Amino acid sequence: MNWSALFIARPVATILLAVGMVLAGAVAYTRLPVSPLPQVEFPVISVTANLPGANPETMAATVATPLERALGSIAGINEITSRSSLGSTRVTLQFDLSRDIDKAAIEVQAAINAARSQLPSSLPDNPTYRKVNPADSPIMVLALTSPTALQSQMFDVASTVLAQKLAQVKGVGQVSVGGSSLPAVRVEIDPAALNQRGIGLDQVRATLAATNSNRPKGLLEEGDRQWWIYSNDQARKASEYLPLILSHQNGSTVRLRDVARVSDSVQDLKNSGSADGVPAVLLMVYREPNANIIETADAIEALLPVLRDMLPPAMDLRVSLERTSTVRASIREVQKTLLISVVLVVLVVLAFLRSWRATMIPAATVPVSLVTTFAFMYLAGFSINNLSLMALIIAAGFVVDDAIVVLENTARHVEQGMPAPAAALLGAREVGATVVSMSLSLVAVFIPLLLMGDLVGRLFREFALTLSVAVLISMVVSLTLTPMMCARLLGPRPTA
């Protein structure tokens, strides 16, 4: 059965089919995520263990080594790296790109449980793990500054108020707060003063823990009456810790201020941040996988006035870094290049065919093929990025070939005196096998890219598939829409 004859005989149905393909592609284009490069998820898991007070050598020998030995038995690991610092060890596992990260996480947890008996008994908590993507960088960094407030106060506002609101924005996957830490009371004990009074560190620790407790106080009863006692024993300021009683010796009272220096500080002194030379707390916003980076950034920008209204008067929130400007510029330039390439293709066809009516045929089939490709990209989970748009730019020169082959053969028969519908049917039948072989040969060129593994293969997979699908769609269009348009638009050229 000649499929070209079916579409030539039903021009309205053919046009509606082409319009439907274009509409599907146009709708898919508005829903495609935007990113600078194809989304490649690295299967990486980070395992963290903490042992306060242990030096890096101790952490490496007693914590990192047992964890590496247990985690090394997991299949599919390409690389294991560990880093030990004061009181902390981090083991990073990089898996093969084909490895399922969720299944790998289950095996990592099992290996951590198996290594628990070999870890120090003084380890306060079990080692923890989390799935990370080292290639994912924040799409926006917000800086919270203030001329009067302390960084610990800004960090408290950023972590308890701003981060919660930002995390609710559509497309935001994670908000990380840095540049300081939460407010805390720091107690620096003088060992000599403790030794002089015969007081141990455990006794000081117990007193501090009891001061921070907030437990039920009970009640008083008299007959049928009850009086509940409510009181908060938690101390939040350094001044509330200074008079704490550690012991009674020889009729005198030893208080915390006698053996330690107590100050209002932060949980981690070795954590600080700045923006443009001004002390600041930074909020790093990461997007969800496959989220539209531009739409997410626009939603954050729209939320900033609301966040500023929620801040104390002395604090200011501004954008310190955002990646969308470079992404917008690159995508805009590539889209402009795509439009220019389509126009140039049409002008070249016009220069050689020397007929506007004949030029309208490839001029219509090229946009149909390219726009319909967006529907495939949406179904395949691709994104609008530099590589996928570059594939469409290259495809603009390929997709026109099939239409020109059918057009030229049909025009040859028309010039020989054959009616346009019959010429279109015969022309499509004669070159049908040629068009199919041309398209399949172009697709075959990109098969090695599809079979490539590792990171390069993942990056260029969208490029190869997008270009191949655009060529295949142009093959179908050249055997359906092109013959129908030839039958309606071509006619004998006027003789002088």
Q: Which pLDDT score is estimated for 238?
A: 77
CA dist 163 and 170 (Å) reads 14
Strands 316-322 and 140-145: antiparallel
pLDDT at 147 over 80: yes
> Mean per-residue pLDDT for 14-36?
86
Paired residues of 48 in beta bridges: 90, 128
Q: What is the pLDDT of residues 378-402, one digit of tens each?
A: 998 888 888 888 888 888 878 878 8
pLDDT at 83 over 60: yes
Q: Per mean pLDDT, which range of 250-254, 269-273, 349-353 is the poorest?
A: 269-273
pLDDT at 489 over 50: yes
What pTM, to 2 d.p., does this model score? Answer: 0.65
Determine the angle formed by the axes of helices 386-415 and 324-353, rounding to 10 degrees. 10
Q: Which pLDDT score is estimated for 27?
A: 92
CATH assignment of 183-266, among 2.60.40.10, 3.30.2090.10, 3.30.420.40, 1.10.3720.10: 3.30.2090.10
Q: Which pLDDT score is estimated for 232?
A: 63
**Mean per-residue pLDDT over the chain, rounded:** 82
Tokens 């469409």 locate to 392
Work out the burial of residue 317: count CB atoms within 10 Å of its CB; fewer than 13 is exposed, 13-18 middle, 19 or more buried: buried
Class in CATH terms, 41-134: alpha beta
CA dist 101 and 423 (Å) reads 58
pLDDT at 495 over 50: no
| DSSP-derived secondary structure for 228-250 | E--------SHHHHTT-EEEEET
Q: Which pLDDT score is estimated for 24?
A: 92
Q: Which pLDDT score is estimated for 41?
A: 66
Write out the two tokens for 202.
Answer: 């455990």
Q: Smallest Cα–Cα separation from 286: which of 175, 388, 208?
A: 175
Q: Which pLDDT score is estimated for 289?
A: 66
Q: Give the other-Cβ count within 10 Å of 262's Cβ.
A: 20
Class in CATH terms, 3-38+327-489: mainly alpha
Q: Which pLDDT score is estimated for 375?
A: 92
Residue count (the chain): 496
Confidence of residue 23 (pLDDT cuts 50, 70, 90): very high
Confidence of residue 491 (pLDDT cuts 50, 70, 90): low
pLDDT at 431 over 50: yes
What are the sequence ranges of the domains in the chain?
Answer: 3-38+327-489, 41-134, 183-266
Highest mean pLDDT pick, 285-294, 373-382, 386-395:
373-382
pLDDT at 235 over 80: no
pLDDT at 439 over 50: yes
Top pLDDT among 93 and 217 is at 93
Phi, psi of 130 (to 5 degrees): -150, 150
Q: What is the pLDDT of residues 201-228, one digit of tens each?
A: 888 888 877 777 666 677 788 878 888 7
Q: Which pLDDT score is estimated for 376?
A: 92
Radius of gyration (C-alpha) of the chain in whole angstroms: 35
Tokens 């101390």 locate to 235
Instruction: State the chain's maximal CA–CA distance in angstroms.
Output: 129
pLDDT at 131 over 70: yes
Confidence of residue 1 (pLDDT cuts 50, 70, 90): very low
> Mean per-residue pLDDT for 115-120?
87
Q: What is the pLDDT of residues 297-326, one digit of tens each?
A: 889 999 999 998 888 888 888 888 887 787
Sorted by sequence, the CB contacts under 8 Å of residue 489 that are 6+ apart come out as: 357, 358, 360, 361, 420
| Residue 101, CA distances (Å) to 32, 96, 105, 106, 372 in order | 25, 10, 6, 9, 33
